[in-house]
Structure 1
Amino acid sequence: MHKYHIKITEYAEQDLEDIGNYVAFTLKNPASAICLIHDLKNKMNSLRQMPQKHALDEDSILATPGVRKCHHKNYKIYYIVSPPLDSVIILRVLHMHVDSKSKIYRTFGI
């Protein structure tokens, strides 16, 4: 079975750092923060195989460049599949209660 490479954008890296800091310091649960970040990274790594199994985003503006999303607990992982590069590019990792569309639009400069 073909496996894709995972590439994480700076936005997504910052999202992970922000999530970890929020859970560790604001919610005062560092052990949970470590587990959550570990689980999110595992979910991202699971996209190495069959990343197209997740649907395109329901927003037509985001679906046009091929933005897909998968879920882990209260978080959405936004990504695109780049077959010429054999890569899955993780765009953002956002909480479900965040205005994710505006953040993704900004990622694309929309």
Structure 2
Amino acid sequence: MGLGELIAELRMDKGLSQRELGKLVNKSDSAICNYEKGVHIPDAETISKIADCFDVSTDYLLKRTKFKYSIKHLNNHLSSDYTLGDLLNTIIQLDTNNRKRIVDYIGILTVINNVSKGPKQ
């Protein structure tokens, strides 16, 4: 599945028309149609807006990861009363593919953490 097909799938899953998605990302419905058909590829800013609209990562849209949800989405679902034991029990119950996604997410968080610390002195 290419980028256009993925945009169409996410749009339909959310129950949006091409016109409604276009309004959310400041593009015409014909531009959205062309993205979905693969006639044109959205620019980086539009890809970012589309990802935000569907609460997925840009890496997911660009097929750089199979991990669908954005960091913001995941952080909203964690709470301070969720213990490490709870987390491990949850991971153990996941199938192999979802455990691999957890590893991907940890990798993403590691990169974000390292970037936010800045260069080592």
Rg larger for: 2
For the criterion TM > 0.5, the same-fold answer is no
Normalising by structure 2, report the TM-score. 0.25
The one of the two structures with greater contact order (alpha-carbon pairs below 8 A, sep at least 6) is: 1
Higher helix share: 2
Normalized per residue, the structure richer in strand is: 1
TM, length-normalised to structure 1: 0.26
